[in-house]
């Protein structure tokens, strides 16, 4: 028997943001940290990178501690699309394309060409980071993350799986998630994301009955 219930650590419905095209003018008035500079987005190669220099190394280390980005070398950090969108939203970085700095909505439009699920991934990651969880991507094809609590006295880890409104979750997929949870010894949390960007979390438990 499979059952769903609210997890103790997030027992309510959260409205993360309104829509992908919400008015972000107020947010974008905050000056970004210019020490982090993303390189030009190459849509052909779908690459997003941060160029790290001496002046911005401290801030670069901060985002790596959040679980954002993958260091390719001491001078370069590679990003996924949702990570880049989060850094733009949080004012930690700007995206350059063809000599132009993209605002949030422009960045969302361009990054959606790289990853069709960039928006729900961003919504989920943004919420989890605000709750002070460490987030690590498990799958590039799906909305799936390994999430852990930062408290030393609570080392629990979870697999968060995003489910979009209008896209049914099959029993076969539920069974696959359960098997993965057993194999990795992690708790499974389903994150139901509706079209308005609201997230509702449920833990997934299983009994052999």
Whole domain around residue 150: which residue ranges?
Answer: 2-16+118-206
Do residues 97 and 128 both lie within one domain? no
- What share of the chain has pLDDT > 70, as a percent? 74
Mean pLDDT of the region 99-110: 87
Q: What are the tens digits of pLDDT across the range 27-45? A: 334 434 444 443 333 333 5
3-class SS of residue 191: strand
Of 98, 114, 130, the one marking the end of a domain is 114
Q: What are the tens digits of pLDDT across the range 81-96? A: 999 999 989 888 888 8
Q: Is 43 left (phi over 0), alpha (psi -120 to 50) or beta?
A: alpha
Closest CA to 77 of 68, 86, 88: 68
Of 90, 114, 138, the one marking the end of a domain is 114
Q: Which residue has the higher pLDDT, 32 or 136?
A: 136
Sign of the C-alpha dihedral, residues 58, 59, 60, 65? Answer: positive
Q: How many domains does the chain have?
A: 2
Closest CA to 204 of 166, 158, 167, 164: 158
Q: What are the tens digits of pLDDT across the range 35-84? A: 444 333 333 357 788 888 777 787 888 888 888 888 988 888 889 999 99
Q: What are the tens digits of pLDDT across the range 150-169? A: 766 666 789 999 999 999 88
Do residues 159 and 109 both lie within one domain? no
**CB 93, CB 84: distance < 8 Å:** yes
Do residues 51 and 110 both lie within one domain? yes
Mean pLDDT of the region 179-205: 90
């Amino acid at each position: 028997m499979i059952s769903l219930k609210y997890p103790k650590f997030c027992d309510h419905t959260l409205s993360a943001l309104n829509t992908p095209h919400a008015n972000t003018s107020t947010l974008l008035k905050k000056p970004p940290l210019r020490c982090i500079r993303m390189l030009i987005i190459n849509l052909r190669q779908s690459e997003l990178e941060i160029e790290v220099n001496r002046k911005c190394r401290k801030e670069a280390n901060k985002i790596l501690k959040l679980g954002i980005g993958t260091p390719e070398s001491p001078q370069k950090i590679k990003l996924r699309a949702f990570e880049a969108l989060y850094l733009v939203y949080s004012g930690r970085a700007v995206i350059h394309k063809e000599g132009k700095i993209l605002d949030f909505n422009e960045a969302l439009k361009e990054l959606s060409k790289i990853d069709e699920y960039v928006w729900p991934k961003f919504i989920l990651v943004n919420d989890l980071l605000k709750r002070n969880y460490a987030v690590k991507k498990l799958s590039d094809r799906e909305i799936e993350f390994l999430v852990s609590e930062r408290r030393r006295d609570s080392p629990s880890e979870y697999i968060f799986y995003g489910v979009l409104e209008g896209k049914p979750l099959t029993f076969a997929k539920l069974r696959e998630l359960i098997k993965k949870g057993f194999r990795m010894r992690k708790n499974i949390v389903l994150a139901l994301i509706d079209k308005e960007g609201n997230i509702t979390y449920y833990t997934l438990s299983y009994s052999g009955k």
